[in-house]
Amino acid sequence: MPRLYLPELSQYERGDLSDLSRRELEDLAWRFREIARGLANRLGEDSTTSSRPPSSDDPYRRDQRGGTSAPDRDGSSGQDTAAPDVKAALAKASADPGRMPVKRPGKRPGMPGHWRRQPIVVSQQIAHVPPVCQACQAPLGADRKGRCVSAHHVFELDRGEMGLQVIAEKHSYFVATCACGHDTVASPGVGLHARIEGRKRDLQLSERCLVGATLAIFIAALSLRFRLSRLKIQEFLLDWLGLELGVATINRCVHEFGRASEPMVEELIQEVRTAEVVHLDETPWYQSGVLLWLWVAVTANTVVYRIGSRRKEDLIALIGQAFLGWWVTDGYMAYRDHPRRQRCLAHLIRKALALAEGYYGPGRGFGRDLVRDLRRLIERVHDGDNDAAVKRLLARIKWNCQCNEHEVEQKVRALAREILNDWDAVIAFVANPLLSPTNNDAERALRHAVIARRIGFGTRTDEGSRFYAAGLSVIDTCRKRGVDPWSHGRNLIAAARKGSSLPAIPAQIAA
Ligand SMILES: [Zn+2]
């Protein structure tokens, strides 16, 4: 008997076995056992038992490895797993005695401190004189300027024509005496804040800040858009711009942008809810090691992210209860009951491709036909070919699925039934030119965050998750509308520090 190659897995029919001798049967059984053992071992491998990276581990099995129990599964299928309430999961994880003791980030008590080693060379002096009298509202000119009451340094980034330069400014605040006799004192503005019960130091945005708004948005860009860790940003600023900043200051800049973006996101969500077509997708996310989900909603000119559980409620929080437009989604159950929906065909084509290339006997032909027909359908509809050809194609796909919905092979049967059960959502794009046959818009939007998750393992706190999602929403919406995200971000941070009203993201500039 020739050596068994894997392609022979699909060539053996049950009838062939009766022709084999006992000895040959034993040999064959043993070879199949060796193949099965090898595959079973490979299936059980993860980052702790092979050279695969931790990011490739199954999100549901990660927690079991770490000694804590996985979030409760509602069990119906792998796709249909809802994480429990986010707060409960986080509380459970932190209370679990089997979990590694959590070391607080930052310096240990008693460690020697760090001081600034660079002298600050001031290149610009800025004087703040109150413009009007507080008592009588009379305008105050520079000639009314009295003594200086306070001053602070600000590092700012100068975005020149061809280069970047860090400069130091000195901001001085003066008293001005009015003709009415009242002394008005100029002081730095105080704006948005983020308070959390029991936290040692809360985030308060203020103009009295070592890092200027442009430099702050530059740091936020390095973190959110270029996926650098706080330590890498510190290294970059020192090596390339000769600027020494502490990790806490860098973290503060990233959070300031997140905080300033939060009210913007409220507006963006309103725009998503009134859109005609919304692309939706979700991907695993970790918050201090607990499995959560990052949702994204993409419309023609808005992108909104949200970190939460995989439950329907979190989807509703993003898209609203009474959404009237179309959804473009994958096959996840939470999307299924929305009546106006387009199923992503790229997912179905991938599943069909797996059948075509796997060991599925006659199911392979079904897979091959499905891949060919679905691709052709997308092309025909895109080119606006004649209706008759499209109708023939639709009929063939449906008939092909009906022929295979009682196939013995489980995966073949499942795909055929999946398409038939969701038929209206599979072909919605044929009749509606607004719909795209794939969900690539949302998947492309998530791609960036998936890479960030693989580098940084998600966020650490509730606040961090909110700020991360808000920051990304503003950056991606600006990019989608052809607006420079960084000058808008700068204005956002400046307004949030001053306490003035936040600038809205301009409507589409580039078509
Ligand atoms: Zn006055």
Mean pLDDT of 492-502: 94
pLDDT at 179 (0 to 100): 87
Least trusted range by pLDDT, from 102-111, 128-137, 379-388: 102-111
Residue 145 scores a pLDDT above 90: no
Least trusted range by pLDDT, from 158-162, 445-449, 462-466: 158-162
Taking the centre of ligand 1 as the mean of its atom positions, its distance from the CA of residue 137, in whole angstroms, is 6
Higher pLDDT, 20 or 237: 237
**Alpha-carbon dihedral of residues 261, 281, 376, 301, nearest 10 degrees?**
-20
Higher pLDDT, 77 or 368: 368
Distance between CA 423 and CA 398 in Å, rounded?
Answer: 8
Percent of the chain with pLDDT over 90: 38
Taking the centre of ligand 1 as the mean of its atom positions, its distance from the CA of residue 187, in whole angstroms, is 17
Average pLDDT score, the chain: 85
Mean pLDDT of 31-57: 83
Distance between CA 265 and CA 259 in Å, rounded?
Answer: 10
Q: How many residues does the chain have?
A: 511
Higher pLDDT, 472 or 27: 472
pLDDT at 83 (0 to 100): 43
pLDDT at 204 (0 to 100): 92
Residue 12 scores a pLDDT above 80: no
Distance between CA 299 and CA 274 in Å, rounded?
Answer: 10
pLDDT at 299 (0 to 100): 92
> In the structure encoding, which two tokens stand for residue 64, read together?
């079991």
Taking the centre of ligand 1 as the mean of its atom positions, its distance from the CA of residue 132, in whole angstroms, is 8
pLDDT at 95 (0 to 100): 64
- Residue 412 Cα distances to 77, 354, 355, 373, 422, angstroms: 17, 10, 7, 16, 16
Taking the centre of ligand 1 as the mean of its atom positions, its distance from the CA of residue 141, in whole angstroms, is 12
The model's pLDDT over 404-429, given as tens digits with 9 standing for 90+, comes to 888 888 888 888 888 888 888 888 88
Taking the centre of ligand 1 as the mean of its atom positions, its distance from the CA of residue 217, in whole angstroms, is 38
pLDDT at 339 (0 to 100): 84
Residue 68 scores a pLDDT above 60: no
- Place 87 in a pLDDT band, splitting at 50, 70 and 90: low
- Residue 442 Cα distances to 115, 165, 228, 278, 298, angstroms: 45, 37, 23, 9, 6
Taking the centre of ligand 1 as the mean of its atom positions, its distance from the CA of residue 127, in whole angstroms, is 20
- Place 67 in a pLDDT band, splitting at 50, 70 and 90: very low
Mean pLDDT of 300-327: 87
Number of Cβ within 10 Å of residue 312's Cβ equals: 13
pLDDT at 62 (0 to 100): 65
pLDDT at 3 (0 to 100): 44
Mean pLDDT of 394-408: 87
Distance between CA 82 and CA 79 in Å, rounded?
Answer: 9
pLDDT at 384 (0 to 100): 80
Contact 100, 66 (CB under 8 A): yes
- Place 47 in a pLDDT band, splitting at 50, 70 and 90: confident
Where does residue 384 fall: left (phi above 0), alpha (psi -120 to 50 degrees), or beta otherwise?
left
Taking the centre of ligand 1 as the mean of its atom positions, its distance from the CA of residue 128, in whole angstroms, is 18
Determine which helix (DSSP H) or strand (DSSP E) holds 56, and give its type and residue range: none
The model's pLDDT over 246-285, given as tens digits with 9 standing for 90+, comes to 999 999 999 999 999 999 999 999 999 999 999 999 999 9
DSSP string of 6-19, one letter each residue: GGGGGT--GGGGGG
Residue 306 has φ and ψ, to the nearest 5°, of -155, 135
